[in-house]
Structure 1
Amino acid sequence: MKTFMIISQIIYLLFILPWLFIWGISFMGFDSGVSGGAIALVTIIGVYPLVVIVCSIIAWVLHKRKTRTAILINLIPMLWVIGIGGPVLYINLF
């Protein structure tokens, strides 16, 4: 369990560099003016580091008492990794 949490958090840390690039590009959503969709896009992409930090802290606090809950909370940032990283990887490879 500790090994899983450490490895997953290292993966989240490694995705910070590509996140910076994707977050910077997300501001191009404002090229055609300010819209609710552009604000939502930048906000969703922008909160990734905050979600990683909060979920990591909560998971480590719960890891002794509630293992399953700690694992599920630790997997929440994976939604960003798969949800944003998957399409970006697909676009660049194919």
Structure 2
Amino acid sequence: MKTYLIISQIIYLLFIIPWLFIWGISFMAFDSGVSAGAILFVTVIGVYPLVAIASSIIAWVFHKRKARAAAIINLIPLLWVLGIGGPVFYINVF
């Protein structure tokens, strides 16, 4: 379990580098004016580091007593990686 937590959190840390670029260009959502959709879009992208840190801390707290819960909680940042990184990767490769 410790190995899984360490490896997955290193991967989440490595995804901070492309996140900086994606977060920076996400502000282009405001090019056509301020709207609730643009604010939500930038906010969802902007909270990735906070979610990654919070889920890492909670997973380490649970890792001894509730290993399954720790594994599930540690997968939460993967929603950002796959939900945002997947389409961005697809657009750039194909």
Shorter chain as denominator, the TM-score bin is over 0.9
**Number of aligned residues:** 94
Unaligned runs of 5+ in 1: none
Corresponding residue of 1:4: 4
Partner SS state of residue 43, structure 2 = helix
Q: Within the alignment, does 1:74 sit opposite 2:74 as a pair? A: yes
Corresponding residue of 1:56: 56
Query: How many percent of aligned residue pairs carry the same amino acid?
Result: 79
Alpha-carbon deviation of 1:77?
A: 0.3
Partner SS state of residue 31, structure 1 = helix
> CA RMSD of the aligned region, Å?
0.3
Alpha-carbon deviation of 1:21?
A: 0.2
Tell me which amino acid in the other structure corresponds to 1:75: L
TM-score by length of 2: 0.99
Tell me which amino acid in the other structure corresponds to 2:49: P
CA distance in 1, matches of 2:81, 2:32: 27
Tell me which amino acid in the other structure corresponds to 2:35: S
Can you list the C-alpha shifts for 1:38-75, whole angstroms capped at 9, x where unaligned? 00000000000000000000000000000000000000
CA distance in 2, matches of 1:81, 1:11: 10
TM-score by length of 1: 0.99
